[in-house]
Amino acid sequence: MGQEIISSHFSETDFQRFQDRLAIETDLLKQRFSRPDVTEDDQYRVGFELEACLVDKNNFQPAAENTAFIDHFNDPELATMELARFNIEFNTPPFSITEDLFSLLHSQLKNTWVKAQTTAGQLGTRILLCGILPTLQNRDLGLDNISEMKRYAALNRQILKSRKGKPINLSIQGQDKLELRHDDVMLEAAATSFQIHFKTPWKKAKDIYNASIMVSAPLLAASVNSPLLFGKTLWEETRIPLFEQAVATGNNIQRVSFGSGYVKNDILEYFNENLARYPVLLPMRFDTAAEEFSHVRLHNGTLWPWNRPLIGFNRQGTPHIRIEFRCLPAGPSLIDTVANAAFYFGLSYHYANNHRTLLDFNHARNNFYQAARNGLKAEFTWLDGKRYTAKKLLLTQLLPEAEMGLTAFGVAEGKSSEYLNIIRQRVETEQTGSAWQRTYLKKNQHDILEMTRTYARYQDTDQPVHTWNTSPNIT
């Protein structure tokens, strides 16, 4: 959930000073990106963040060891702690576009994974990638399990203050129904995500952002991996309603949402909306130059739309825009993760460069929630106004378009096919991570612990999920 701060208590003066600096920096953004005399970092680059759970290696219960893990791992560029003491986030460095991009991403991720599992093993734990940890219980999500960062304590305090102390009400209806009340923001820690970053030239940021919104639904439908929460079988991607409700601040202001629409002229519309629409949540004052956009970046870090533009800097200090695609779950395997990234980059690049007409935003939003509820069984309205099942649209149109996008992007055709074929086979067999979990539980007396053990064994083999058996014995 972002950068650390140095205080967790704020006065009204802090809020006003932050608002003033936020307005100045938002205006400066327009000046900075409209100056043709400033050299632009106009290269495409990619990367991602991958959230994971630390679990006891024997009983697969959450293991509150992220402080010790980070100390032992000893690489803050690659691993940081997240909201709960059992949450870890792994990061890749930025990658330039090359013919073997995804092989390089996969190799880098595997190296990080080996080091992470070795580190975790020294603590009697292991790392697990799953959108929602199947063995997680509500009792694991108390403030006694909040990470040792002031940012998280401050977020909890400010979100509850904005709700006037009212508890958070969670209500999700799927195959089962889950309703509960929670007194803090720790429900959010149940959701672990795969967040893809697409650094774009300034002139293409609007198109990549809009394309990302439009393709969110089919990408999510092909990648669902979170059917369970607290033992209940809910949506195919239960992370979506969970996260949206877990940090609800009241006053009809949603800080986690599908967004309010496409941007029309340039990406700065998004930051202007942030300034005008969303109250400041963490008014930390930075003694930095306005050109570093510290207040804009922190304010943006307290908003979590499923597609989020970010401001970054290259090593020369030149600012740039990257699009963060936030809706996909962690897991099931590393190769599935890289395949999901390949599909996203290819499809978003294709639609950003080949389609002037955008899907009606209301259709894009409705498609998205249908995908979260129903996965590959969802039905979508697409650009031609016709209705398609997710499976048919993916196989007949979107996967070929993603391959065209990757070829135009500069990825070798054979290299892109290697990963896109994983998506194709996953869709053809209809075995997503969520489908595998549901089928396993149905065949094995709803044994969640044994399912999690089997899931972990398959994950360690790095076989794609469409090849996994639903028997406890791996062959």
Identify the pLDDT of residue 384.
96
Range list of β-strands (E), 211-256: 228-229, 232-233
Q: Which ranges of 238-313 would DSSP assign to H, the alpha helix?
A: 239-246, 268-277, 294-300
State residue 300's pLDDT score.
97
Neighbours of 393 (CB within 10 A): 22
Residues 224 and 191: beta-carbon distance below 8 Å: no
Please provide the size of the chain in residues: 475
Ranges under pLDDT 70 in the chain: 1-9, 35-41, 474-475
At residue 392, the 3 state secondary structure works out as helix
Residue with the two structure tokens 């202001």: 253
Say how far residue 86 (Cα) sits from the centre of its chain: 17
The two three-digit tokens of residue 41, written as one number: 């970092």
Tell me the C-alpha distance between 364 and 383, whole Å. Answer: 10
Nearest of 303, 105, 106, 305 to residue 216 by alpha carbon: 305
Q: What is the pLDDT of residues 148-157, one digit of tens each?
A: 888 888 888 8
Two tokens, residue 55: 């679990």
CB 250 within 8 A of CB 167: no
The DSSP-derived string for 324-356 is EEEEEEP-S-HHHHHHHHHHHHHHHHHHHHH-S
The DSSP-derived string for 20-89 is HHHHHHHHHHHHHHT-TTSPP----EEEEEEEEEEEETTT--B---HHHHHHHH--TTTEEE-SBTTEEE
Q: Which two tokens stand for residue 383?
A: 């650009």
Distance CA 316, CA 257 (A): 34
Type of residue at 381: T
**What distances in angstroms separate CA 295 from CA 230, 288, 387, 426, one per listed residue?**
37, 9, 43, 42
What's the pLDDT score for residue 315? 79
Domains annotated on the chain, with CATH:
12-467 (3.30.590.20)
pLDDT at 316 (0 to 100)? 78
Per-residue confidence (pLDDT) for residue 30, from 0 to 100: 87
* Confidence at residue 243, expressed as pLDDT on a 0 to 100 scale: 97
Given this model, what pLDDT does residue 4 score? 45
Question: Which pair of structure tokens corresponds to residue 276?
Answer: 């005008």
Taking the C-alpha atoms of residue 311 and residue 306, their distance in angstroms, rounded to an integer, is 16
- Which residue type, as a one-letter code, is found at position 261? G
Check residue 1 and give its pLDDT: 38
Contact residues for 141 (Cβ-Cβ < 8 A; gap 6+): 84, 182, 186, 187, 189, 190
Cα(321)–Cα(344) distance, rounded to whole angstroms? 18
C-alpha angle 83-85-89 in degrees, rounded to nearest 5? 60
The secondary structure element, H or E, covering residue 419 is helix 413-429
What is the token pair recorded at 407?
């070829």
